[in-house]
Structure 1
Amino acid sequence: MPKSPMRSAALLGPALVAGVAYLDPGNVASNMTAGARYGYLLVWVVVAGNVMAWLVQYLSAKLGVVTGRSLPEILGARIRSRWARRAYWLQAELVAMATDIAEVLGGAVALNLLFGTPLLLGGAITGGVSIALLAVQTRRGPRHFEFVIIGLMAIIVVGFVAGLFVAPPDAGGVLGGMLPRFTDSGSVLLAASILGATVMPHAIYAHSALTRDRFGAPTDSATQRERVPSIRTLLTVTRWDVSIAMVIAGSVNLAILLLAAANLAGVEGTDSLEGAHAAITASLGPFIGTLFAVGLLASGLASTSVGAYAGAEIMHGLLTIRIPLLARRLFTLIPALLILGVGFDPTAALVLSQVVLSFGIPFALIPLVALTAQRRTLGEHANRTVTTLLGVLFAALLIALNVALLWLVLTNAG
């Protein structure tokens, strides 16, 4: 870190908020299923996904730090055609809403597990809490919002990791899981689900906006460096911020897989959140089961708040429209509440939301890598050649994995 550790630590936070997207209920379900079905086989997938996520989130944060604008704002200014801009907004908005469905469903399921709350009411409560959290960001500023989300992240960590202290995984199995391999088409499908959905479009849009909100307009002016950190200082802090966030998110996702691998191998029904909770309770006891449900609730509340923030930024950046927060949040809650109201299977809805999310990956990743490689956009802070090459490689791999995920899901459905 820079010379003043305390001052630098005060600049941390945006990546931890964006990192909550990697701990949403969809990821919980995928990692739990992977561990229960295939043991330690897919440990390497979680690790590889986290490495790719680090670079993608750093590039998003760097774009916001250097330009003082979010990715949607820059694209809104660069896309000259009004109809092309609207089309781009529509796909981004649909992807954000699909992601929100998974997060609201996760919160509703958690409330049902903890208190027996009907799913529809649980979804409404989850949406209401997300409105309150967003009000903190609007009225009290980004720092207070960060504190709240980081607090929820701490609850997520405890809820999902506690079981490992009761029943730790086999060290040899974990090391063996670092060897890249598959055993059948089912393991390929789960790997594609974990890796392909590791980087979510709304997390990319949100991270660039979070750094913009936190640090404001950039400056490298010598007269202002004593009052405002330089871009280079902010980028150094951002690398630490992203590293801490990805270590936390990656460790929790790995812990979920290891918990299932060590204790739920071969147990039926763990491909649903309710089934996973029941299996954990039966295997490790009601206390660990309750902690898991509390972690799931915190996951749903935190991730849906960040998702709603991303959706608002997408609309503002691409269409230069801001509508009242309450009205927008109520509108984006409708799909999730409809799904819960008609009794649609929450697990099937999670899978479908991941499919919709897959369509949005190229639209977020390709512009991100392209813009951060341009000197006319980032000047001297543009990517080095090796960074751009890695960005292109990871983007191509993630896009290919999402295409594979779509094909495998549709094929299995047929």
Structure 2
Amino acid sequence: MQGPTSRVVSAPSPQPDGAINSRDKNLDEPTKYQIEVGEQKKGWRKALAFLGPGFLVCIAYIDPGNCESDLQSGAEYKYELLWIILVASVSALIIQSLAANLGVVTGKHLAEHCRTEYPKAVNYVLWLLAEVSVIAADIPEVIGTAFALNILVKIPIWIGVILTGFSTLMLLALQTYGVRKLEFVITGLVMTMTVCFFAELGYAKPDSKELLKGMFVPQLRGNGATALAISLLGAMIMPHNLYLHSAIVLTRKISRTPRGLKEACRFCLFESGFALFFAFLINVCVISVSGAICSNPGISQENKDKCDNLDLNEASFLLQNVLGRFSKILFGIALLASGQSSTITGTYAGQYVMQGFLHLRFKPWIRNLMTRAVAIVPSLIVALIGGSRAAGNLIIVCSMILSFVLPFVLIPMLKFTGSKVKMGPYANSWIITVITWGIGGGVMAINVWYLSSSFTKWLIHGSMVMGGKVVLGICVYATIVLYMALVAYLTLRIDRENTYCGEDDKEPNHTCHALPRDDIMELQLPRNSASSR
């Protein structure tokens, strides 16, 4: 919805290096709509002109994958893992703001920087890992949507998984009739579930001292808690979100003056902070409700059994105090909306990845179908063999995969945003550098420690024959060595690409002077002028 704070304008079409023309239907069609942030806008008017990218990225922080991890964390460990949500949220704010800064200052998004900076072989590896992260993020949306359909119309989980191949395509098609209205409907449904969880928090009355202890006293009791902690980190700091955020900020037409760039970076930080604070509260609320109700000694045996095997398909009982018999229906609708909206953002992230690394661009429905076709296969197999519980566990596994992939997105981004030749005076300060590399190092250390210790324990105590253990051990430990070798390469390699252009840089084809990027596929606004007001 466009207000007086941001007007829609058409962008010029000079294409920077590494960009391709996205007007695949007709080269003569009108340019895509862009948001102009002029020098004349002041205060809240300018802030509202930047509103959008942070909230779009924020959708991934309240998707079915997050909800599943939150529910299991609360049910199994009460409030003990709240500190992970706090650390992950603060880390996400810093990291997401750096991704936005990279796009604002250089005029190129993260995948384009990687393609220009690294050799072809390394680029293919990074592209494959980026696609893995998009698919791993899509699997929870597939399962969450299947759970929602099971709750609402009682169809089996495996049939719901198959139907998800078409549901998001329908939603993408509906954008033609007014994406703003569609976004408001989705947001309203998710917000309804959020309000209900907050209301339920009042009924559950969790112990405030235990909440504060869980929030500020780090603790991990065993490999089970470590696995959930890794899944929470993966669900909160998603690799594909960094590609997405660095690209969608390129749809803003900003002033290239030092003041304009500083304001753009600052407003991106404020918007991301507000959106992520909202997501933080939701995640804390879900864990707290799950922990308070499942640890209540007065809970019924039926609900206790549900807590012992808690997943999204059984979680609606947590809202019974607020919604009564309607809790299941409303939870199912909100879960459906959450899964669909998250999938749409994943579709755009996947397009930026392919455009940046490979110079390939597909229409949204084709890109969605490609990702969804791959995501459906493991979801369908698990749903057929293990049912609802196994499907819920697959969501946790996918969140862990996201955490393992994160360093291969985070390290290049930290190298680029900390480089004077790429960011000029807007490069990371030494404080931000220490904090962000500490975050990255911590994630990598936890990943390697968990994988090696868990696998070693399984190898020692497993029932596999000795020959099989030897072969499997060689394969797994070789993979860990390759993982660490690629991390070391990305960390120690000296960057060579110069992408910073100052105020006096007048080279006409330079990326900075082609903003806003017409080739970047922003969330398409309705063509009908009446619907865009």
Structure 2 match to 1:335: 374
Structure 2 match to 1:15: 54
Q: Displacement, 1:144?
A: 8.1
Q: Structure 1 182/146 Cα, relative in aligned 2: closer, same or farther at 3 Å?
A: same
Q: Structure 1 358/177 Cα, relative in aligned 2: closer, same or farther at 3 Å?
A: closer
The total of aligned residue pairs comes to 403
Structure 2 match to 1:241: 271
What CA distance in whole angstroms lies between the structure 2 residues aligned with 1:281 and 1:170? 20
Structure 2 match to 1:170: 207
1:361 partnered with 2:423: no
Worse-matched range after superposition: 302-311 or 254-263: 302-311
Q: Which amino acid aligns with 1:19?
A: C
User: Could you say what secondary structure the match of 1:28 adopts?
Assistant: helix
1:12-411 to 2 correspondences below 5 Å: 12-79=51-118, 81-134=119-172, 150-151=187-188, 153-155=190-192, 157-158=194-195, 160-178=197-215, 179-212=217-250, 214-216=251-253, 219-221=255-257, 230-265=260-295, 267=304, 268-278=307-317, 281=320, 285-342=324-381, 343-344=384-385, 345-407=390-452
Question: 1:152-202 CA deviation, whole Å, 9 max, x = no partner?
Answer: 653453354342243332222212223222344433332233235421111
User: Could you say what secondary structure the match of 1:10 adopts?
Assistant: helix
CA contact (8 A) 1:110 1:296 kept: yes
CA contact (8 A) 2:68 2:311 kept: yes
CA contact (8 A) 2:130 2:353 kept: yes
Q: Displacement, 1:282?
A: 8.9
What CA distance in whole angstroms lies between the structure 2 residues aligned with 1:166 and 1:317? 49
CA contact (8 A) 1:192 1:404 kept: no
Question: 1:50-87 CA deviation, whole Å, 9 max, x = no partner?
Answer: 111111111111111112221111111212x3333222
Q: Structure 1 305/402 Cα, relative in aligned 2: closer, same or farther at 3 Å?
A: farther
Alignment TM-score, normalising by the size of structure 2: 0.68
Q: Displacement, 1:285?
A: 3.6
Structure 1 match to 2:18: none
CA contact (8 A) 1:120 1:337 kept: no
Worse-matched range after superposition: 161-170 or 385-394: 161-170
* Higher-Rg member (1/2): 2
Worse-matched range after superposition: 279-288 or 198-207: 279-288
Q: Displacement, 1:151?
A: 4.8
Worse-matched range after superposition: 146-155 or 175-184: 146-155
Q: Structure 1 379/130 Cα, relative in aligned 2: closer, same or farther at 3 Å?
A: farther
Question: 1:79-102 CA deviation, whole Å, 9 max, x = no partner?
Answer: 2x3333222211211221121111
Q: Structure 1 263/137 Cα, relative in aligned 2: closer, same or farther at 3 Å?
A: same
Question: 1:244-301 CA deviation, whole Å, 9 max, x = no partner?
Answer: 1110111111001000111122834344222333565599743344433333222211
User: Could you say what secondary structure the match of 2:236 adopts?
Assistant: coil
What CA distance in whole angstroms lies between the structure 1 residues aligned with 2:181 and 2:270? 20
User: Could you say what secondary structure the match of 1:177 adopts?
Assistant: helix
Q: Structure 1 339/193 Cα, relative in aligned 2: closer, same or farther at 3 Å?
A: closer
Q: Structure 1 32/241 Cα, relative in aligned 2: closer, same or farther at 3 Å?
A: same
Instruction: Provide structure 2 residue ranges, at least 5 long, that are not aligned to the other structure.
Output: 1-40, 297-303, 463-533
Instruction: Provide structure 1 residue ranges, at least 5 long, that are not aligned to the other structure.
Output: none
User: Could you say what secondary structure the match of 2:360 adopts?
Assistant: coil
What CA distance in whole angstroms lies between the structure 2 residues aligned with 1:133 and 1:273? 22
What CA distance in whole angstroms lies between the structure 2 residues aligned with 1:137 and 1:400? 43
Cα root mean square deviation, aligned: 3.0
Q: Structure 1 155/147 Cα, relative in aligned 2: closer, same or farther at 3 Å?
A: same
Q: Percent identity?
A: 34
Q: Which amino acid aligns with 1:169?
A: P
Q: Structure 1 12/282 Cα, relative in aligned 2: closer, same or farther at 3 Å?
A: closer
Worse-matched range after superposition: 9-18 or 284-293: 284-293
Worse-matched range after superposition: 300-309 or 120-129: 120-129
Q: Structure 1 138/97 Cα, relative in aligned 2: closer, same or farther at 3 Å?
A: farther
Worse-matched range after superposition: 148-157 or 309-318: 148-157
Q: Structure 1 405/252 Cα, relative in aligned 2: closer, same or farther at 3 Å?
A: farther
Q: Structure 1 3/32 Cα, relative in aligned 2: closer, same or farther at 3 Å?
A: same
Q: Which amino acid aligns with 1:310?
A: A
Q: Displacement, 1:120?
A: 4.2
What CA distance in whole angstroms lies between the structure 1 residues aligned with 2:448 and 2:185? 35
Q: Structure 1 312/13 Cα, relative in aligned 2: closer, same or farther at 3 Å?
A: same
Q: Displacement, 1:374?
A: 0.8
